[in-house]
Amino acid sequence: MPHVITQACCGDASCVYACPVNCIHPTPEEPDFGTAEMLYIDPQTCVDCGACVSACPVGAIVPGHRLTADAARFAEVNADHYPDAAPGDARFPVNANWRLPMAPIDKPTALTGAAPDEVRVAIVGSGPSAMYAADELLRHDEVRVTVYERLSAPFGLARFGVAPDHESTRSVSELFDEIARHPNIEIRLNVEIGTDITLDELRATHHAVLWAGGAPTDRPLQIPGVDLPGVQSATSVVGWYNGHPDFLRATPDLDTDRAVVIGNGNVALDVARIFTSEPDRLASTSIDRTALTALRSSRLREVVVVARRGPEHAAFTMPELIGLADSHRRVWVDPAELAGVDPADHDDPTVSAKLELLHEIAARPKPAEPFIRLSFGHTPVAVVGDERATGVEFVRTGTDETVVLDAGLVLTAIGYRGKPVPGLPFDDQHGTVRNDAGRVVADDGPVPGLFVTGWIKRGPTGFIGTNKTDSGETVANLLADAEAGALPKPDGRAVGV
């Protein structure tokens, strides 16, 4: 029975490289890799060898016969990605040349050309993009990596951004732990670049500085009333329930019947799911204990996740919707919101599959409280309230009709945003450091020895594993510069922190 990729898919494509018959797609070389919501196994080509299971860092792949009931739908999701496949008809022929240079290799490889005998690389940040970059760099004996992390614990969003009930996804930290045990890497915690050490000092002591600081702020929602008490960002709540030291006081007010979440990406779904989960089920997770106590006395009966566009544009991904529908189950859609929405009108199979599942959810009876209601086509125009938020005024998108939804808690979940890094050229429109495939680019061209990866390079999109390919690209360019003798020679004294 073929193997199946399930909800926790992180997209790092380790399975793609492990598979001997090239049955997992899209591969990083294929155009749809950047936009895919997960990777899919072709059931007609899979030889059931299990190599992908060992390679997956988050335990997302299971043999079909071991699928649990709440993950059963993923067999169909994988197969539907290969609609034209017939038995024995491999969609993509096995090809010895299709692997990227970043595919796993057993032995370290030597740098060539004009590369220095020792290449010292500073990585700023220790989240997924930083750790995947370190992994790539450490495949070369000449490279020494020092990771600088502002917080007292490493791994960034893998530790403080993934929902506590997504335990498989959180297990990617075990891979990062393994990378951190390499003899040629050192992780320095509690060091903030710009405060404890300047960027110039780092550059003076390393051949290359790789900025992997992520997108640490929220996109601001600019509507009247958004500064009222009772309004906060969903990401502050994520930090709060994950014990992020910056958000220990970001306790949301749960002494209210209804919370409204503005935006319907996966962050919105994560927060809504945690708010509507049985606290006893959360107790066995890594959730912050103070947050768990607060959730135990929550009075919430409904969390409404509101999108400004229609369901065909939902920002949440299919794996997360399946998780809500089949595992969490406390989710509902008002059938009236789906009137006239026909999955068959959409060519994109992911969109039509999402719409079919939304119709299925809408046809169910309302779940027990507290539950999540997914709502569409409402653009927020103001947060209502005098001394604190009492609701949100929306306009039905594309009309003049306004609707007020009462709520004592309002969360904005409209995406992350990168912030300018002193000393690095910033693209204000995209919230990224200006770069060309990871090489930092100033007005007069690439800046030798300065690189970026992760969300500060490409913007806040994709999954944890997306950073593997992204960092692979940056590191390939960094090493190419090393071999071309294009990295500046560090001549400063070592910084003792």
Residues near ligand NAP (CB under 6 A) are: 221, 262-268, 270, 307-309, 313, 315, 317, 320, 380, 413-416, 460-463
CB of 183 to ligand NAP, least distance (A): 33
Peptide bond into 104 cis (omega under 30): no
Phi-psi region of 496 (alpha: psi -120 to 50; beta: other; left: phi over 0): beta
**Residue 477: its H or E element:** helix 466-483
Q: Which is nearer to ligand NAP, 145 or 405 (CB)?
A: 405
Looking at the Cβ atoms of 55 and 414, the one nearer to ligand NAP is: 414
The span from the CA of 21 to the CA of 95, in Å, is 9
Give the chain's length. 497
Closest residue to ligand NAP in the complex (CB): 265
Nearer to ligand NAP, 146 or 276 (CB): 276
Output the six-digit token pair for 11. Answer: 């997209």
Residue corresponding to tokens 């969490």:
328
Distance (Å) of CA 446 to CA 4, 133, 178, 452: 43, 20, 33, 12
Shorter beta-carbon distance to ligand NAP: residue 268 or 487 = 268
Toward ligand NAP, which CB reaches closer, 10 or 62? Answer: 10
Q: State in angstroms the smallest separation of the CB of 486 from ligand NAP.
A: 33
Largest distance between two CA atoms of the chain: 69
Q: Indicate the residue among 270 and 302 with the shorter CB distance to ligand NAP.
A: 270
For residue 370, is the peptide bond before it cis, meaning its omega torsion is within 30 degrees of 0?
Answer: yes
Pairwise CA distance, residues 302 & 385, whole Å = 19
Find the shortest distance in angstroms from Cβ 235 to ligand NAP: 7
Supply the minimum distance, in Å, between the C-beta of residue 447 and ligand NAP: 28
In the bound state with ligand NAP, the residue whose beta carbon lies nearer, of 338 and 487, is: 338
Q: What is the DSSP letter of 220?
A: P
Provide the minimum distance between the beta carbon of 73 and ligand NAP in the complex, in angstroms, as a whole number: 17
- In whole angstroms, the minimum distance from the beta carbon of 413 to ligand NAP comes to 6
Alpha-carbon distance of 333 to 337, in angstroms, equals 7
Q: Is the separation of the CB atoms in 483 and 28 below 8 Å?
A: no
